[in-house]
Structure 1
Amino acid sequence: MKHHKYVQALTLPSAGFRIRILAIAGALATLAVTLLVLGWSGSAWAQGQPACEAIDLGTLGVNADSELTGAGRWTTNNCDSRFRTGSDAHTYRFEVVEGGRIRIDLGSTDGDSFLYLMTEDGRRLTDNDDGGAGLDARIERDLTPGIYVVEATTVGGRSRGPADFTLSISRAAGCNPVHLGTLRTGVDLTASGSWSLDTCGSRFVVEHPAHSYLFNLDQAAHVRVDLMSENGDSVLSLVSTTDGLIAANDDGGESRNARINRYLAPGTYLLEATTYLERDYQPLMADFTLVVHRVDEEANQASFLLKVEDVHTPNQVVAGQPFDIHYRVGNLGGGDLADINGNVRVYVVGPRPLFDITGRIDTSEGSWASGVSYHTGAQTASETSVELGEIAPFEATLRSPGPSWIFVGVVTDDEDENERGFHGQWHNLMVLSGTTFDAVTVSVQGTDYQVEAEADSDGMVTTTVSSVVDPDEAVDASLRAKAIYAAGVHTQVLDGIFERPAITDLSATGASASIAVENPSSTALLEQFADRYTGAITASGLPAVLAAKEALNPADIEDVVLSLSRSASMEYVSLAASWNALRDPINNGEVLSFENAFSLYSDLAYAERVISPAVAAGRAVEEARAAELGWQDAGVQELLDDLAGQASCRNPGSGLREVLEEMETTDLDEMLRLDAEMRAALPAYGFAKDAVLCAVAGADRHNTLFLQGLAIADNNDILELFGYEQPTTTTVALPPYRLRIIAMLDEEGRIEHGVELSGGEQILPSRRHLSPDAPPDVWQISSDVEVDGNPIGRVRSRRLDDGRVEIGFMDAVGETIIPEIRYLSTDIPAGVWLRSAEIEVTREPILE
């Protein structure tokens, strides 16, 4: 990311366009178009440092080619620099009799030069390193008449050895603005030029080369200014001679070009055409073109105007977990996009590496007409907006916890792919390090535990697990993980299980058939589907038809799809009944056990990934048989499109073949040949089967994300239950950390805490204070205590009813460690570290 004090930039990768936000540092009350003086009261010369004798260079002439020069050598035995310890310095004095933009260059082939500019009495005005070519220094500044002092010194100091240098002081050429004339309707004002190392510096950030232009506006008008460059990165500023800075822009036009659109009152205006890169980082020379255009507002209002009208995301998302970005885009202008045969691109950008963009969406009959808006879902729909196939939600993933953002933009191009419009909206959201939920009670191996996951203002989630009977009792890592898992299923799955999109359309009434799901892994789900699939194929009689070399009847294949669908519907009736039987008592106060939570999660995985697509395929067959046009019916085709979308993963059948091989299926090759013929005879069959296989293949990723959100994805006991084999490794045990918890009362009445290792090293976590008004008997948890960059646990503290404070520790896997000495009295002194008894904190073993 390019960064400067007056511009923050975000570059979109390979998108053909970028967006940047310009933030001009400081308030500019007024800015004259004549040369400005930006002097300020800087640092005086260091006290006690003997001043080196200043060499008088004389008076800088008033002519443009006037120049003062000097030369010397840093010998390592010269006077000391006033500002840089251990560096030689030479001091020069010069006089300015006529104010203007003055350029001071300090160059050296062997040294790394550094410049300081001061007033005659030693007040430091500014300094520079590397503002010229290479390692040379340059100061460019508007100076009023007076005497000035320059110190020529080095960056590397005397240790770099002697070096020769040259100094020049001159009037910067080309700094006066060029007058372009008066802007009138139908006649643009234009200018062109180049940016190079010798170009006059910007009035805002002098290290950036800039050209200035004036224009008059005889009556109020809407004005558009474009600054375009093929190999430069243009930045544009608009200044009023009476009101100061009006606008600044970087990349508001096409690609890296700058654009400003403003309604302006009559008057004289200054334009500064500069670049994002400093002189020495520029191409050797970059050409540019400036165009000032008076907008015909009536014609503009009669044209198309595409805008991002709304953006919607969850208010909070979990780091590393995908979420949908919904939006609405509409044509708010008076004309149709079809008038120019235009096309549209919508994109989203966020913290790296988030970037996604649609393809070019062409205008079709009626699309992108004036007043039309398109939404991606109910979240952003308006009373008049409609759906458009190419306008779909983006899926995004943010990696870092904390406050975050996304930007959704729409770019409009004409038929020659020239940009004709741009608009976008920012959207803020919070990224959490894990899943959060309120305190909930669950049961593991007959013991009740209270589990709570809370996020702080930085998005960091702390999950606490405590025994209901004895809250201070240490909780084993395996029990803790199972308690967190049960709490996660209770709050994230059970509470809204029948509202999940994949099963909302499934019927929970009718005949039922029991089903037992071993675990929610892709392998387990695939095995169960394979068993039902082979049974349906065998019962259909189709293998015999193929063996007789007879053509397959599509109606017989439809019967196979219906058979699988009806079996799936009966299984769902059974599962839904079991979920209700579990949910109702829990809603009335009973506790969810880990065993029931695991069964519920496994059953849901089967329902969403096997039952749901199978039932949808059966519904498509029934609709096709009932429709006059059969499979060509529009409604049936829509159902098929949905199935095809679900069946779009890569190589959906590869996993099924492996499972069938493990099941030692007889005549496997014949079954696969039959599958190919069935797909040819009835494409809907292929969609239906692949929709199940793709959904099943995604189960493992979904499971991993769920466990990661709960911060238990590395718990071997949980992974084993999911059927995930862990790689065989050899572990090397490490000695535990021996440490004491330290605590100190600060002047604000807070308790600051950290740890002190046995060697005496103190480690203070970033969040480490217990507030004086913290509620009693409620544990407060610090942020991570890190040793060599690895978190070893967190300090916990609470205020007691008697006014004392209790401190303790929670290791990296959540086990509570209670030191023998752990209480702070009510009258502890301020500013003194107090220590608990020594405790041992288990270290994670090393895997070999």
Structure 2
Amino acid sequence: MAWVVALLAGLLALEAAPAAWAQEEPSCETSDLGALGEEAGSELQASGSWTGEDCDSRFRSGSDAHTYSFEVVEGGRTRIDLKSEGADSFLYLLDEDSGRIADNDDGGAGLDARVERDLAPGTYLVEATTVGGRGRGAADFTLSISRVTGCDPVHLGALEPGIDLTASGSWSLDTCGSIFVVEHPAHGYSFNLLQDARVRIDLTSENGDPVLSLVSATRGLISANDDGGEHLNSRIEQYLQADTYLIEATTYLERDLQPLVADFDLVVHLVDEEAQQNSFRIKVEAAHTPAQVIAGEPFTVHYRAGNLGSGDLVDVAGSVEVYVVGPRVYEYAGPIAGSADRWQAGVSYHSGEETASGTSVAIDEVTPFTVTLNRPGPSWVFIAVITSNEAGDEVGFHGIWKNLMVLSSLTFDTVRVKVDEADYRVSAEADDDGVVTTSVKAVANPAEDLDEGLQGKAVYTAGVLTRVLDGIFQRPAVAGVSVDEDVEPEAVTITSPSSSALRKLFAEQYASAIAASGLPGGVAAGEAINPMDVEDLVLGAADTASAQYASLAASWTALQERIEGGERLSLAEALVLQSQIAYAEKVVAPAVTAGQIVQASRDTDLGWEDPDVQAMAGDLAGQASCGDGATALGDALRAAGVADVAGMLALDAELRPVLPVYGLANDSVLCGATAVDGENSRFLQLLAIDDNEEITGLLASDPPPPPAPSPHPLRIIARVGEDGRVEHGVELSGSGEQVLPTVRYLPAGSPVGEWRASSDVEVEGGAIGKIRSRRLADGRVELGFQSAGGDVVMADIRYVPADAPTGVWLRSGEIEVPPPLAMLE
């Protein structure tokens, strides 16, 4: 193994740096520790204290330092540890002329310092100092200098066909440092390759992050890899010439940043190239991302994966996983098992038309990824496939990198818009780091200083022009809504693009459609609901939505033509346009879709059992899963001022089981409308004007109505006094607080059967009502409560016995007292 020693010496010579500037010779004493022995395990030790009055550090002002010298008689790997329980130690290794060779903070356990180097024979100095300085107080330390053993490579033998070379081990704090980056623990292995061949080297670990390096005895470092295998594992596979090779198995993390002990396995395999060519070969054939994306904005990653080999994956009962990674991104799909119709030789699958080839096909299991990158600047994603055999062992890996630019906000070329009857030029351009700068200039006076509010309005209008009006008919949510030439357009006015405006408009139209359907009268008469009547209700809503879309689409076309003719989009038009597209996407589209589902069920012999009809309903259900639909409908009806909301909700509860798609249609609308405020906020973020109060105010929803006040659960309390009077009060449920009104006694001589009332009982600063009481002929006292609204509430348990003890509070059954009328208004 002499070649290994020579090779390591050469590598270490490559990493040796010129001597640092020598420091001024200190006046403090240097303690000589003597010579480090040649034998394995030799060690020099010292201990001391930083007292706050020691010599100054050469390198760290305000810190105590002790200096030691030692001699290396025979060159080799040397480890220097500086440990302290009371301070954050810092270590410097110097040559005998005080030139700095290395330093370290926290290279040992916890806050301890460590330097590990291959040192040539000679004299060296060590400065033991601290990070915190004298202000942290006194602390003790120990210093050890030792010869590190077990760093020589382990020879694995000769690599032969059919016989893998294997090794296993652990990385820990005491493992030798890497020959390349000494702070990282590493193990070395060597092997002989007797003839030229393709070799695969796998380094795997369950809780470490492996890194591989491969060194040739004749050519030096020839390959290195991190994460080339499955997940964090490393792999090198390449054609090698006959030679002797050194493998270094190390980790991505330094000693003190990785798990305390991380086990690993190393496998060196001679690849049978002929068998490999006749086997399956799963690869990512193509990947597609936008060239530019916006920070925080989801985008789609499409790919095509195929079997480019000559064998079928089913031959090994294998499976394929596809994943995408990027900065703070990890998404995966699968596994997709090999079978008679999956992953055969020559097959290719695409996730979308963006990556389709002339022979690739679409399957349900291969779908695009949705990815979000949050930091502006040049970035990347990596799309990969992992092939596993029946035992779950990885037998194939391939991936493709895609570079892209992440922008801080939307960009657009210079456009002209109108705000308050004045024209402005607006542009948004990105620099090389993806940072977008938006410019707003008045056409009449480009040098004019514009206030932030005006600039925000101009940018918003430009954003609607470039993001909404351009390509409005290609937006996915409305692309499936067609304009029937036989439909008479029905104009609709949307007051704002806010959630509250959309919910209110939908609720008004819904209440009108329900009233016109005749369904409330039939249900009130106790008649069973005919499903066909509910289908007609859904179809009627779809017809209305289609007529409204026809009107909206005509207005958009006219607006596009005017802009193309040289007119400027105004702020008012931008607000109307965003309101219209929000209504079309969130209200019109689900209603039209529900109508298409009902019509499809009528057009097929299988009706609602038809698989295509069920698939359409399933897609609509995916839009209707944001919460309790009945609750959302009730809130919308109340916000719209619809009368008899309770009755409407009771009818809704009857209609849903009769025709589930009726409920899905309503819930889809309400879910979409509720999401609009968040989408508007995101739109302003994309334009970098989300902090502009004038713009946010234009798009904001109406504040939600205050929650209805809850009734007060309580018990009436009463006790008999020595003088025969009965004292009254209430005890609030939950808190147990007792409230006693000012006038609260039933006189001892009050007439039998005559109700008497206390003064107001006040809870949370408001009067909720009065306690009522009367004497009965049998000597008992009956208790009750009259709310502030005049309602009389009587508990089941409400009598004070005739022989009740004096001075003891007795409690009625629990009652609920309605809140005052003033709170309900």
Task: Say if 2:196 and 2:239, in contact at 8 Å, map to a contact too.
Answer: yes
Is 1:378–2:337 an aligned residue pair?
no
Is 1:681–2:643 an aligned residue pair?
no
Quickly say closer, same or farther: Cα 1:164–1:318, change in 2 above 3 A.
closer
Quickly say closer, same or farther: Cα 1:73–1:502, change in 2 above 3 A.
closer
- Mapping of residues 159-178 of structure 1, within 5 Å: 167-178=143-154
Is 1:538–2:538 an aligned residue pair?
no
TM-score normalized by the length of structure 1:
0.74
Is 1:196–2:172 an aligned residue pair?
yes
Cα distance in 2, alignment partners of residues 164 and 642 from structure 1: 70
Quickly say closer, same or farther: Cα 1:722–1:172, change in 2 above 3 A.
closer
| Alpha-carbon offset, residue 514 of structure 1 | 1.5
Is 1:244–2:220 an aligned residue pair?
yes
1:272 corresponding residue in structure 2: 248
Q: Deviations over 1:267-288 (max 9, x none)?
A: 1111112233433445454443
| Alpha-carbon offset, residue 601 of structure 1 | 1.8
Counterpart amino acid of 1:346?
Answer: V
Quickly say closer, same or farther: Cα 1:336–1:683, change in 2 above 3 A.
farther
Counterpart amino acid of 2:659?
Answer: L
Q: Deviations over 1:495-532 (max 9, x none)?
A: 22222222234333332112111111122222222233
Give the gaps of 5 or more residues in structure 2: 1-5, 706-825
1:700 corresponding residue in structure 2: 677
Is 1:561–2:538 an aligned residue pair?
yes
Cα distance in 1, alignment partners of residues 84 and 699 from structure 2: 68
Q: Deviations over 1:56-78 (max 9, x none)?
A: 65554443344455566667666
Cα distance in 1, alignment partners of residues 502 and 53 from structure 2: 81
- Mapping of residues 282-297 of structure 1, within 5 Å: 282-297=258-273
Cα distance in 1, alignment partners of residues 591 and 229 from structure 2: 50
2:621 corresponding residue in structure 1: 644
- Mapping of residues 388-427 of structure 1, within 5 Å: 388-414=363-389, 417-427=392-402
Counterpart amino acid of 1:348?
Answer: V
Cα distance in 1, alignment partners of residues 140 and 555 from structure 2: 88
Is 1:524–2:501 an aligned residue pair?
yes
Task: Say if 1:716 and 1:726, in contact at 8 Å, map to a contact too.
Answer: no
The alignment partner of 2:478 has SS state of coil
Q: Deviations over 1:689-711 (max 9, x none)?
A: 33333322222222111222223
Percent sequence identity is 56
Quickly say closer, same or farther: Cα 1:711–1:419, change in 2 above 3 A.
same
Quickly say closer, same or farther: Cα 1:151–1:488, change in 2 above 3 A.
same
Cα distance in 1, alignment partners of residues 206 and 104 from structure 2: 30
1:721 corresponding residue in structure 2: 698
1:154 corresponding residue in structure 2: 129
Cα distance in 1, alignment partners of residues 215 and 48 from structure 2: 42
Q: Deviations over 1:754-773 (max 9, x none)?
A: xxxxxxxxxxxxxxxxxxxx
Cα distance in 1, alignment partners of residues 355 and 456 from structure 2: 38
1:617 corresponding residue in structure 2: 594
1:234 corresponding residue in structure 2: 210
Quickly say closer, same or farther: Cα 1:31–1:527, change in 2 above 3 A.
farther
Counterpart amino acid of 1:556?
Answer: D
Q: Deviations over 1:246-298 (max 9, x none)?
A: 33334444454433333322111111122334334454544433222222333
| Alpha-carbon offset, residue 174 of structure 1 | 0.7
Worse-superposed segment, 492-501 or 383-392: 383-392
Q: Deviations over 1:392-443 (max 9, x none)?
A: 3333333333333333333444455544444333323222232222222222
Quick one: which of 88, 92, 105 aligns to 2:69? 92
Task: Say if 1:41 and 1:124, in contact at 8 Å, map to a contact too.
Answer: no
Quickly say closer, same or farther: Cα 1:153–1:59, change in 2 above 3 A.
closer
Cα distance in 1, alignment partners of residues 656 and 343 from structure 2: 38
Is 1:186–2:175 an aligned residue pair?
no
Cα distance in 2, alignment partners of residues 205 and 496 from structure 1: 54
1:764 corresponding residue in structure 2: none
Cα distance in 1, alignment partners of residues 11 and 431 from structure 2: 51
Cα distance in 2, alignment partners of residues 67 and 184 from structure 1: 42
Quickly say closer, same or farther: Cα 1:288–1:463, change in 2 above 3 A.
closer
Cα distance in 2, alignment partners of residues 465 and 282 from structure 1: 51
Cα distance in 2, alignment partners of residues 522 and 217 from structure 1: 70
| Alpha-carbon offset, residue 179 of structure 1 | 0.8
Cα distance in 2, alignment partners of residues 709 and 529 from structure 1: 28
TM-score normalized by the length of structure 2:
0.76
Quickly say closer, same or farther: Cα 1:565–1:241, change in 2 above 3 A.
same
Cα distance in 2, alignment partners of residues 50 and 682 from structure 1: 92
Quickly say closer, same or farther: Cα 1:563–1:105, change in 2 above 3 A.
closer
Quickly say closer, same or farther: Cα 1:347–1:652, change in 2 above 3 A.
farther
1:842 corresponding residue in structure 2: none
1:261 corresponding residue in structure 2: 237
Cα distance in 1, alignment partners of residues 70 and 267 from structure 2: 43
> What is the aligned-residue RMSD (CA, Å)?
3.3
Quick one: which of 287, 294, 300 aligns to 1:318? 294
Quickly say closer, same or farther: Cα 1:682–1:434, change in 2 above 3 A.
same
2:186 corresponding residue in structure 1: 210
| Alpha-carbon offset, residue 190 of structure 1 | 1.8
Cα distance in 2, alignment partners of residues 489 and 135 from structure 1: 56
Counterpart amino acid of 2:16?
Answer: G
Task: Say if 1:322 and 1:395, in contact at 8 Å, map to a contact too.
Answer: yes
Cα distance in 1, alignment partners of residues 525 and 140 from structure 2: 97
Counterpart amino acid of 2:649?
Answer: L
The alignment partner of 1:213 has SS state of strand
1:42 corresponding residue in structure 2: 19
| Alpha-carbon offset, residue 155 of structure 1 | 2.1
Task: Say if 1:520 and 1:601, in contact at 8 Å, map to a contact too.
Answer: yes
| Alpha-carbon offset, residue 214 of structure 1 | 0.7
Is 1:367–2:342 an aligned residue pair?
yes
Q: Deviations over 1:106-138 (max 9, x none)?
A: 455666554433444554332333434444443
Counterpart amino acid of 2:40?
Answer: A
Quickly say closer, same or farther: Cα 1:348–1:184, change in 2 above 3 A.
same
The structure with the larger Rg is 2
Q: How many residue pairs are counted as aligned between the two chains? A: 695
Give the gaps of 5 or more residues in structure 1: 1-29, 729-848
2:564 corresponding residue in structure 1: 587
Worse-superposed segment, 125-134 or 515-524: 125-134
| Alpha-carbon offset, residue 203 of structure 1 | 0.7
The alignment partner of 1:612 has SS state of helix
Task: Say if 1:54 and 1:93, in contact at 8 Å, map to a contact too.
Answer: no
Cα distance in 2, alignment partners of residues 706 and 605 from structure 1: 12
1:462 corresponding residue in structure 2: 437
Is 1:603–2:549 an aligned residue pair?
no
Quick one: which of 427, 442, 453 aligns to 2:417? 442
1:626 corresponding residue in structure 2: 603
| Alpha-carbon offset, residue 546 of structure 1 | 3.5
2:448 corresponding residue in structure 1: 473
Quick one: which of 574, 583, 597 aligns to 2:551? 574
Q: Deviations over 1:538-583 (max 9, x none)?
A: 3333334444544444333332222122221111221222222222
Is 1:129–2:108 an aligned residue pair?
no
Cα distance in 2, alignment partners of residues 53 and 149 from structure 1: 15
Task: Say if 1:115 and 1:150, in contact at 8 Å, map to a contact too.
Answer: no
Cα distance in 1, alignment partners of residues 639 and 662 from structure 2: 24
Quickly say closer, same or farther: Cα 1:200–1:532, change in 2 above 3 A.
same
Quick one: which of 507, 530, 535 aligns to 2:482? 507
Task: Say if 1:88 and 1:154, in contact at 8 Å, map to a contact too.
Answer: yes
2:635 corresponding residue in structure 1: 658
